[in-house]
Structures are given as structure tokens and as C-alpha cells.
Amino acid sequence: MMSAPEIAQELSEQLVGSITMVQETRDEIPTFWVTRDQLPAAAERLCRQIADPFTTLFDLTAIDERERVHRDDQPEADFTVVYHLFSFARNQHLRVKVPLHGEHPSIQTSIPFWVTANWYEREVFDMFGITFDGHPELRRILMPPTWKGHPLRKEHPARATEFEPFELTDDDEDAEQDALRFRPEDWGMERRTEDADFLFLNLGPQHPGTHGVLRMALQLDGEVIVNAVPDIGYHHRGAEKMAERQTWHTYIPYTDRIDYLSGVQNNFPYVLAVEKLAGIEVPDRAKTVRIMMAELFRIASHLVWYGTFAQDVGALSPVFFMFVDRERIFDIVEAICGGRMHPSWFRIGGVAHDLPQGWDRLVSEFLDYLPGRLDEYDRVVMKNRIFKARTRGVGRYRREEAIEWGITGPNLRACGFDWDFRKRHPYGGYEAFDFDVPTAQAGDCYARAEVRIEEIRQSLRIIRQCLDNMPGGPFKADHPLTTPPVKAATTKDIETLIHHFLGVSWGPVIPPGEAFQGIEAPKGFTGYYLISDGSTGSYRTRIRAPSFAHMQTVPWISRGVLLADLLAILGSIDFVLADVDR
Amino acid sequence: MIETGGHLLNVVIVLGTVLTVAAFLIWYERRLLALWQDRYGPNRVGPFGLLQVVADMIKIFFKEDWVPPFADRFVFVLAPMAIMTAVLMSFAVVPLSPGIWVADSNIGLLFILAMSSMTVYASVLGGWASNSKYALLGGLRSAAQMVSYEVFMGISLMGVVVLTGSFRLIDIVEAQSGLWNCIPQFFGMLIFAVAGIAETKRVPFDLPEAEAELVAGYHTEYSGMKFGMFFVGEYLGVTLISALTVILYFGGWQGPLLPPIVWFFLKTFAVIAVVILLRASLPRPRFDQLMAYGWKVLLPLALLNLLATGVAVLL
């Protein structure tokens, strides 16, 4: 791994002529500005021509720059399109920014360079009204097709009360009804070929097999899937827009609900990114507590996946066993945090409270309890012959394909690639822990299951280390931007009291800048890209969610399989619709 | 006159018993499933939750009798009746214990096979008349599955017939006074059990209604009492297959000390418990796997079993 200035040096030499400037950010990810016209040439070089190229487009988003005050010496722009690239060979993030001018600017599509750009460009179009020339189907992805306006533009209202009172005229109703009509052509499907009339099956958004409000339009030949097109956005709550009207502190509970199965795992990248912007160093005890809670939630998330995956394949009982175990985790979470599924427990600069008395006994009991249960589940689920017959060889992809499609987390490790951001890019104190990165070779549904189950065992190992080596000391950083500061200190010194008062009543003012932090969340690579304009709330919050990237791969994985296999594939990918739609 | 009265009494007894058992199975299955899934199951209404069935019945009887506007009304209503009728007809020739049967037919077993073939119409017609894609897929699956598994079911039974030399169920029971058929006809019993579960569309053969894939398969569009008839039809089917297993392979009502009818029910409920245990423990195979398993494993095995039995009887 090279340091940021080195890599910037190397790449700017290779990209000479394309780069207009190199921006400094708080996260030390090399950030290049490239003009609109130079983008295809730069993309070509980055993804194909340089040594160890950036083959993965992790994220593609935009920033509405029109109201931003602190832009320092960045190039003039009304909108900026941001490409977040990653090279597994280099273990290196890279950010490419393109300035755009005008109310509804356009830019060349980058699908030829990175396949994942497809859905991300649709999202940027949907949210900002930026068009991508050459995109094969540039239509809305999260908002309904009849929506007016582009929500993440600064002039778009954030609250319902800022809109005109809602009125549904007869004409509007007809238009809405008409928009609901299913036309296969709109989804890129043919009605018939020479030797087959296709059956179109609408799967969801209310369907017992889709784990939430996912809709899939299926083109079937008998029970064989010719084409499966996901229709997402039913769980879209505008989390990124909400970030722009919440304070840095009060946004934490919203993050819990992004991947709603893994609680504090969502707080993690957010508070780490804010801490980068604010320059806060977190004390050891807070780090260890955070890791312990994060791993507990990783187990909770994997247990839900385990049970529901077995249920997707038709086994009725396992889900009950796993929910009982998850309940035990929630008992611990409740004792420590007070909340259960969404404890919103991390704070800027630490965690909300110190650990309660007796927490160690609870955790230790759980550590002794779960391994036996996991062994039993191996016999009940993983060794079952029907289960194997249903999952082996189904939904298979290779490592190179997974990298190209931006697949991360257990889904990537199931193709024999031991890539874990906790090991490769340690964050929040993971470098101090001893654990293995489980992998499987086959890259099919069964392999993905094997990886997750072994991950539960590894998480138990990490929690055991937290339990045995819990450091003493403060649970919050001694820093003016820690929100809220330790209450006891406020009664003794006036400075802390002032910060406490401001942090609670107004919200902390985070210095201007940009920072990204990604973590190895249970579902994959989750990252928060925060832009502060020197105010009490973020100017732009971008959430890179693994489920969105994984959902994009479903049509590709499930072509040619049977309907029953599709449900096994959906189950094995382990997505949460709230994480897809945000 | 007295004879007719006796027959009528038997009809009432058998019909009442069978329907009560089918209703009781709702409670029995839910409690057993709960036991195996670390939960309680229904335990609020009446002692041990036994009256839950009554509560459910009352609820379902008062539901709106609704037919979706896009359905083929006549066939839609006919389908659930078909399954109830076909299964109930089968019970006509099932002897519960000495003297308690409706009809003493010398082709009893053939009659049952014929009737169980009729039940496929219920799911196919139900799936077709619903005019819904999920129901259609479920109906198609059920047609393919039941037609295939019927073949092995028939062949697996022939072993018993060859041994006994009769299609009459009472003869078959009485022929087992020395040795139950489950020993000499072990493979035949396994195939019959598998095919029987497939006939009743129970897990792991519930592909026609596969919840995670087809929502509820062929009865997706059904509600109220019409759904209830499919539901009760399924339980009647389970009871029938279990009772047949007992009669054909476990000596029917025969057993020491206890009265014959008690033995018969004890054995039947034990078999039903196994069927429920399967539901609690197995995932669902894929459709092509199910078909391949039937034609490539069960069919040859059933034929071999028949051949071996025939050879043994001849020698």
C-alpha cells in the first residue's frame, strides 16, 4: 500500500493532461479533478491501462455545489460527479471528481469502463437530474416514475410540510394508474420469440420470499428465468436528504435504520467519518466497546440471514432457532445500550455510556452458549442433503466477476478471495485483534453460507478478546467536539459546560472538509462519504451500501435458473431492502 | 331395516370420526411443530389450547365467501369441493376396526387409488380457475408431481396385494395377524410413504404451494371456507395416507390388550406425527430434483420390490 501523496504522484504522472487538480481531503484518499471532456480518457487509463488498475467502481454519486460556501480552491462547478474507485491489487481507494455546469448538466456514461456504473448513474440521474449520455436505460431507479423534481438537489424540499398540500386530481390519478401498468418493453424484455411466448411474473413487492419490499419483474419460459429485473425504491426514505437537515449528532439514529438488521454497525462508519473530519482520537475503551457491539450485531445479522435463507429453501424450523439466539444477543444489547435493534449507541468521540455492571457475565454466558448451537445448525441445515442439492452450484460467479461487479463482504469471500476490510484497511481498532478471514472456493449459494457461518465463529473470537482485554479509562474522547461531552465534567468546568450546551441545543460545528470511511459491515463494504461546509449539519452525506451493489448483480446471476433457484440466490446474497434503497 | 340402520350408523361414525380427526390435526400439528421449533404453539383456548380448532372454525365459517372477479366462477367453487369429496369417498372402504366400516369392497385398494387420482383435479382446476399466474404455476406443478408419484404409489402397493392375494383391506389386515407387512414389504412401505406424502402435497413435497416461491401456489386466490376446504382436504389426505399405512403395513387394528379401535388410532397418530416431523425438519427440493428422484430412484425401486415379492411368493 502506498501513501496518498505517493499514489497521487504516480497517477498524476500517468494521467497527465487529464487531471486539472489534486484535492486534499481529510480521509487522505487521493482525489483528482478531471474535466468533463477528459473523463473517458482518464477512465480508460485508470481501469485498463495502468499497472494494477482500478477495476472496481465502488460508488458513483454527485454533489450539488450551488450553495456550498467552503470550496477553497476547488474548480468552479454547479454539480460535481464523484467516482469512488478501488483497486484490490493496490488496496487503494481513489476518488475522481468531475465538475459540471448548468442546471441540468450531462456527462458521458462510464458503463463501458465499469459495469456497476449502470445503477449508480441511474441513481444520480434520479436524485440530481444529471443525465448520462450513452446510458442504455436512463430512468428513475428509487423514486416513482411520476415523481417531479430530483430530491437531492438543494432546491428540492426536504420535508412534506414544505410542499404544497397534496391533491390527487382525476387526471393525476389516471396518470399514476397508467404508470403502474406493466409493459415488458419498458423493462427491456421481449414478449415472445419465434419459439416461445414468455410468461411475465410479478414477484413482490409483497411476497413471502423477497425479505421485504423488493419487486422483481420476471420473464419466464416455463419456470426458467429468461430475465429478472429488480424494481427497487419501495423502501426509499431519503436518508441522504435527511442528513442535510439533521445535526451531525442527531443523524446517528437514522444510520441505524439503513441496514436495519445490524444496528451499531451502521453507526460505525458514520461516526468514524465525522471523527476524521473533526480530528478526534477515540480512547481505547471506547474502541473496544464499539468493536464488541459491532461484532455482536454482525452475529445477529448473520443469524437472521441463516434462518431466513433456510426458510427460502423450504426448511421451516431453523428460523425459530436462530431468532431465539438473536434474542439472547438483544438481551445483552438491551442491558448495555437500552435499545435492541436500533440502539443508536455510538457517539461522535466514543459511545453513549460506560458499560453497566455485570456486562461481562452476560457476554461470557453468550460466548459459551452459541458455539454448541452453531454445531447443531450445521447438522440441521448445512449437512442436509436436500439443502446441499438446492444450494450447490446455484448462483455461481467467479472472483474476477465479483470484483468487477463491486461485490464485497462474505459474497466476495465465497469465491476464494480473503478480502476483509478489517484486516486490509483496519479501522476503529481492529488491528489489535486476532481473527481469521474465512473463505470458500465455489462462489455459489452454499459457499456464501459457509463463509457467513464461519464468520459467526470468528466474531465470537473477537468478542472473547474484547471480554478478556477490556481496557479501562474513559468511554468518550476528551475533545471539544465530542458530542455530548461527559456529563460529569460539565459540572466542574465551564468550557465543557459550554460545549455540552452548544452540542445539545445547536449541535457541534464540524470543520469544513470531506471524509470517507468504509467498514466491513455484515453485508459487505458500507461507507459514509461526508462533506462538511462548516456548519452543524452535513452539506452532503453519501451512503455507499453493499446491498445496492449486490442487488444490481441479481439479473446477471439469475439468468437461466429456475424460479426456485432465484429465491435461493436472493436468500444467499443477504440484502436488506432498507440498505438497498436508503 | 336393522341392517340399513347399522350401515347408516357406521356412515355417521366414520364420517364424524374422520372429520373430527382432521380438525384435531390442526391442533396436533401446530403443537408438535411448536415442540420441535422451541415454541409453545396454541395454548390459550381451552385445555392445552384444544379449543383453538373450534375458534378457528367459527372464524372461518363467518368469513366472506368471496370469488375474485377475474376467476372462472363455477370451476373456482368446484375445485375445493372436489378434494373434500374425493378424500372422504376413499374413507368409505377404510376399515377402522372389526365391524366399523362403510363399505366392504373386494376392490377397496383400487377404489382408494382411483379416488386419490381424483384429488389432483382439485389443485389443477383450482390453479386454472384462479386465473392467476402463481396459482397456475402451482397447479401445473401439482399435476406433474401427482401424476408421477401416483405411478409408484400404485406399484408399491402391489407388493402387499401379491402377499395377501386380495384387494380387500379387511383381508389385508387379517393376513397380518402373524407378521406385519412392514417387515417383508419394508421397501414397499418406504415408497408408499414417500409417494403418499407427495400425494398430500406435504413438506418436502409441497412444491405446488411452495410459500417462498409461489406465495401459496394453487390456492393463492382462495379465502374463507373455500380455502378451509383445501386445508381440511389436506388434513383428510394426511389422515387417509396414515390410516392406509397402518392398515397395509402395520397390522391395522391388531394389537394386544387394548381395544382394536384404540390400537388403530394410536398407530395412525404415530404415523401422522412422523409426517409432521418431516415438515419440521426438511427443506424443499427443487422441481426437477423431485421429478428425477421419483422417476430415477423410486420407480425402479418399486418395480424391484414387486419383482422380489412375486418371486418370493412363487417360490
Distance from C-alpha of A469 to C-alpha of A476, rounded to nearest angstrom: 18
For residue range B228-263, list pLDDT tens digits in order: 888 888 888 888 889 889 888 888 787 787 888 888
| DSSP secondary structure, A221-260, as one string | ETTEEEEEEEE--TT---HHHHHTTS-TTTTHHHHHTTST
Phi, psi of B311 (to 5 degrees): -60, -45
Which H or E run contains A401? helix A399-404
- For residue A345, what is the DSSP state? -
- Closest alpha carbon within chain A to B289: A389
B152: phi > 0 → left, psi -120 to 50 → alpha, else beta; which?
alpha
* pLDDT interval class at B2 (50, 70, 90): low
Which H or E run contains A568? helix A563-573
Shared-domain flag, residues A261 and A365: yes
Q: Contact B289/A389, CB-based, under 8 Å?
A: yes
Distance from C-alpha of A435 to C-alpha of A460, rounded to nearest angstrom: 10
Q: Which residue in the block uniquely carries the three cell numbers 417387515?
A: B183
Shared-domain flag, residues A127 and A248: no
- For residue A355, what is the DSSP state? P
Closest CA to A466 of A436, A438, A434: A434
The predicted pLDDT at position A304 comes to: 92
A169 is a domain residue: no
CB atoms within 10 A of CB B58: 9
The predicted pLDDT at position A329 comes to: 92
A195 is a domain residue: no
Instruction: Return the residue in A316, A320, A385, A567 with the most chain B beta carbons within 10 A, the one to mutate for interface testing.
Output: A316
Shared-domain flag, residues A276 and A144: no
Distance from C-alpha of B48 to C-alpha of B32, rounded to nearest angstrom: 12
Chain A CB contacts of B285 below 8 Å: 314, 386, 389-390
The predicted pLDDT at position B109 comes to: 87
Q: Which residues, 6+ apart, have CB-to-CB distance to A231 below 8 Å?
A: A204, A205, A214, A215, A216, A217
A212 is a domain residue: no
Shared-domain flag, residues A409 and A556: yes
N residues, chain A: 582
The predicted pLDDT at position A297 comes to: 93
| DSSP secondary structure, A183-231, as one string | -GGGGT--SB-SS-BPEEEEE-SS-TTSSSS-EEEEEEETTEEEEEEEE
Rg (CA), chain A: 24
Distance from C-alpha of B193 to C-alpha of B181, rounded to nearest angstrom: 14
- The residue among A156, A176, A192 that closes a domain is A156
N residues, chain B: 315
Indicate if the pLDDT at residue B3 is higher than 70: no
Shared-domain flag, residues A424 and A530: yes
- Cβ-nearest to A199 among B133, B206, B215: B133
Q: Contact A314/B33, CB-based, under 8 Å?
A: no
Shared-domain flag, residues A509 and A374: yes
Q: Contact B134/A208, CB-based, under 8 Å?
A: no
A526 is a domain residue: yes
* CATH code, domain carrying A390: 1.10.645.10
Indicate if the pLDDT at residue B211 is higher than 80: no
Indicate if the pLDDT at residue B5 is higher than 70: no
Closest CA to A518 of A540, A545, A541, A538: A545
A42 is a domain residue: yes
For residue range A339-378, list pLDDT tens digits in order: 888 988 998 888 888 889 889 899 999 999 999 999 989 8
The predicted pLDDT at position A3 comes to: 63
Indicate if the pLDDT at residue B126 is higher than 80: yes
Burial tier of B16 (Cβ tally within 10 Å: 0-12, 13-18, 19+): exposed
Q: Strand, helix or coil at B9?
A: helix
- Cβ-nearest to B211 among A208, A321, A565: A208
Closest CA to B287 of B187, B209, B188: B209
Q: Which residue in the block uniquely carries the three cell numbers 476464494?
A: A416
- The residue among A156, A181, A201 that closes a domain is A156
Q: Which residue in the block uniquely carries the three cell numbers 471506547?
A: A286
Q: How far is CA A259 from the centre of its chain?
A: 8
Evaluate the CA torsion angle A26, A32, A37, A43 in order and state its sign. negative
The predicted pLDDT at position B45 comes to: 85
Phi, psi of A416 (to 5 degrees): 80, 25
End-to-end Cα distance, chain B: 48
**Domain tally, chain A:** 2
- Cβ-nearest to B137 among A207, A223, A324: A223
End-to-end Cα distance, chain A: 32
- Section B196-223 average pLDDT: 78
CB atoms within 10 A of CB A193: 10
* CATH code, domain carrying A123: 3.30.460.80
The predicted pLDDT at position A167 comes to: 87
Between the alpha carbon of residue B293 and those of residues A384, B189, B290, the distances in Å are 16, 17, 5
Q: Which pTM does this prediction carry?
A: 0.87
Q: What share of chain A is helix, strand, coil (3-state, %, to 5)?
A: 40, 15, 40
Shared-domain flag, residues A132 and A266: no
Prediction ipTM score: 0.83
Which H or E run contains A538? strand A538-544
A168 is a domain residue: no
- Section B93-121 average pLDDT: 82
The three cell numbers of residue A185 are 418493453
Q: Contact A389/B37, CB-based, under 8 Å?
A: no
**List of chain A residues with pLDDT < 50:** none
Q: Which residues, 6+ apart, have CB-to-CB distance to A99 below 8 Å?
A: A33, A35, A36, A74, A75, A76, A77, A79, A80
Instruction: Return the residue in B136, B213, B289 with the most chain A beta carbons within 10 A, the one to mutate for interface testing.
Output: B213
Q: Which residues, 6+ apart, have CB-to-CB distance to B7 below 8 Å?
A: B102
The predicted pLDDT at position A298 comes to: 92
Nearest-CA distance from B71 to chain A in Å?
Answer: 18
Phi, psi of B222 (to 5 degrees): -90, 150
Distance from C-alpha of A126 to C-alpha of A505, rounded to nearest angstrom: 35
CB atoms within 10 A of CB A169: 8
Distance from C-alpha of A254 to C-alpha of B210, rounded to nearest angstrom: 36
Chain A CB contacts of B127 below 8 Å: none
Closest CA to A524 of A394, A371, A363, A414: A414
Q: Contact A386/B281, CB-based, under 8 Å?
A: no
A191 is a domain residue: no
Distance from C-alpha of B309 to C-alpha of A489, rounded to nearest angstrom: 89
- For residue A141, what is the DSSP state? S
Amino acid at residue number B238:
V
The predicted pLDDT at position A369 comes to: 92
- Cβ-nearest to A316 among B134, B279, B288: B279
Closest CA to A453 of A530, A374, A351, A512: A374
CB atoms within 10 A of CB A441: 12
- The residue among A132, A156, A180 that closes a domain is A156
Q: Strand, helix or coil at B164?
A: helix
The predicted pLDDT at position B212 comes to: 66
- Section B107-115 average pLDDT: 86
Rg (CA), chain B: 20
Phi, psi of B43 (to 5 degrees): -140, 20
The predicted pLDDT at position A145 comes to: 86
Distance from C-alpha of B230 to C-alpha of B122, rounded to nearest angstrom: 8
Q: Strand, helix or coil at A28?
A: coil
Q: Contact A564/B213, CB-based, under 8 Å?
A: yes
Q: Which residue in the block uniquely carries the three cell numbers 438491551?
A: A334
Phi, psi of B60 (to 5 degrees): -70, -30
Chain B CB contacts of A201 below 8 Å: 133-134, 137
Nearest-CA distance from A200 to chain B in Å?
Answer: 9
The predicted pLDDT at position A192 comes to: 78
User: Interhelix angle for B52-61 vs B2-36, to 10°?
Assistant: 110
Q: Contact A387/B283, CB-based, under 8 Å?
A: yes
For residue range A54-80, list pLDDT tens digits in order: 888 989 999 998 888 888 778 888 899
Shared-domain flag, residues A149 and A243: no
| Residue A488 lies in domain | 239-581
A224 is a domain residue: no
The three cell numbers of residue A430 are 481492529
Distance from C-alpha of A542 to C-alpha of A249, rounded to nearest angstrom: 16
